[in-house]
Amino acid sequence: MAGFAISFLISFYVFFLNILMTSLGMAFTYGVTRILNLAQGTFFVLGGYLASVFAWQIGLAFGIAAAAAASLAFGPLFYLYVKALGRTELEQLFATYALLLIGEGLFKLVFGNGDYTTASLADGLGSVEVLGQQVPYSYLWGGAVAAALLALMYLLLARTRAGLYMRAVRDDAEMASALGINVREVGLSASALGILITAASGAASSMWQAFTLGLSGQILVYAFASLVVGGIGDLLGVVAASAVISAVRTAAVFLYPQLELVAIYLVVIAVLLTRPSGLFARHARLA
Partner 1 sequence: MRGWLSPIAIITAATAAYFGGPFLRFAAVYILGWSLAVFGAWLLLRYGLVNFGIGASYALGAYAAGLMYRYLHTADLAVHLLAAVGAAGAWGALNGAVGIKTRGIYYSLLSLSLSMVLYGVLVKFYTVTGGSDGLYMPDPRLLGVRIGTAGLLALAALLAAAWAALGEVFGRSYAGHVAAGIKINELRTSALGADVGRHILISSVLASIAAGLGGLIVGYSTSHVSPDFAYWVTSGKMVVGGLIASFLPWTWGFVASAALYQAVELYSLQFAYPELVVGGLLLAILAAWRLYYRR
Residues in contact with partner 1 by the rule CB under 8 A: 30, 34, 36, 38, 84-85, 87, 90-91, 93-95, 97-106, 108-109, 217, 221, 224-225, 227-228, 232, 258, 261-262, 264-266, 268-269, 272-273, 276-278, 286-287
Residue closer to partner 1 (CB basis): 3 or 257: 257
State in angstroms the smallest separation of the CB of 261 from partner 1.
5
Question: Nearest 5°: CA angle at 12, between 11 and 15?
Answer: 85
Radius of gyration of the CA atoms of the chain, in A: 19
The residue (of 105 and 126) whose beta carbon lies closer to partner 1 is 105
Nearer to partner 1, 98 or 247 (CB): 98
d(CA 90, CA 49): 30
Comparing CB distances to partner 1, the nearer of 33 and 138 is: 33
Least CB distance to partner 1 at residue 105 (A): 3
In angstroms, what is the minimal distance from the CB of 180 to partner 1?
24
In three-state secondary structure terms, 214 is coil
Of the two residues 155 and 262, which places its CB atom closer to partner 1 in the complex?
A: 262
Q: From the CB of 109, what's the least distance to partner 1, in Å?
A: 6
Q: How far is the CB of 62 from partner 1 (least distance, A)?
A: 31
| Other CB atoms within 10 A of residue 47 CB | 31
Spatial neighbors of 29 by CB under 8 A, at least 6 apart, are 35, 37, 40, 190, 191, 193, 194, 195, 198
Closer CB to partner 1, 56 or 97, in the complex: 97
Residue 73: count other Cβ atoms within 10 Å of its Cβ. Answer: 11
Number of neighbours of residue 154 by Cβ within 10 angstroms: 13
Q: Please state, in angstroms and rounded to a whole number, the distance separating the CA atoms of residues 249 and 246.
A: 5
Shortest approach of partner 1 to residue 272 CB, angstroms? 5
Q: How far is CA 183 from CA 10, 90, 144, 177, 287, in A?
A: 42, 18, 33, 6, 18
